[in-house]
Amino acid sequence: MLKLGVKLTNNSESLRFLIVGLITFMVNYGCLYLFYSLIELTYQISITLAQAATIIFHFILNKYFTFKGKGRLHKNIIKYVLMLFANSSLSIYISIALIKIIGITPYQSIAATTALMAVFNFVIMKTFVFKTTNLVQKCVNKARSWFIKLYG
């Protein structure tokens, strides 16, 4: 168990997340192949377009398959967009950095980046995006209890 309180055991939710992750990876890889190898766009544009297509696919499968539609759609979308803004930007920059610094192919960079971000995504989606309780209020309450412990 992580200190965040998220069990990463082999329960059905984490198994569904893994299945969605594998399918999403194939979609991402297929889109990269389409844009980079078939259409022959630059790897920077190809990675970015593949990521955009993957985001939509990933949200729909996780919302309705992994987390069984928990939470209100509009709130899920806002939280998901916030998570993905940071996540996708980081994924794109890591992919490009791996290509430039290490010299791996765009395909290898997508594989490495996807593996790196998988655990992060599960924790954020489970504890923030598709969680039906108010995470902000929990954080405020936790900070308040720490403050009281420190300053009595």
pLDDT, one tens digit per residue, over 66-125 is 988 877 888 899 999 999 888 888 889 999 999 999 999 999 998 899 888 887 788 888
Angle, helix 106-124 to helix 43-61, in steps of 10 degrees:
30
Q: How far apart are CA 49 and CA 21, in angstroms?
A: 18
Residues spanned by the domain of 26: 12-151
pLDDT for residue 20 is more than 90? yes
pLDDT at 54: 92
State the alpha helices, DSSP H only, in the chain. Answer: 12-32, 43-61, 73-97, 106-124, 135-151
User: How many domains does the chain divide into?
Assistant: 1
What the block records as the tokens of 21 is 């992750």
Domain assignment of residue 73, yes or no: yes
Q: How far apart are CA 23 and CA 67, in angstroms?
A: 16
Domain assignment of residue 2, yes or no: no
Highest-confidence segment of 38-42, 61-65, 85-89: 38-42
Domain assignment of residue 4, yes or no: no
Q: Per-residue pLDDT averaged across 41-60, rounded? A: 93
| pTM for this predicted structure | 0.62
Domain assignment of residue 64, yes or no: yes
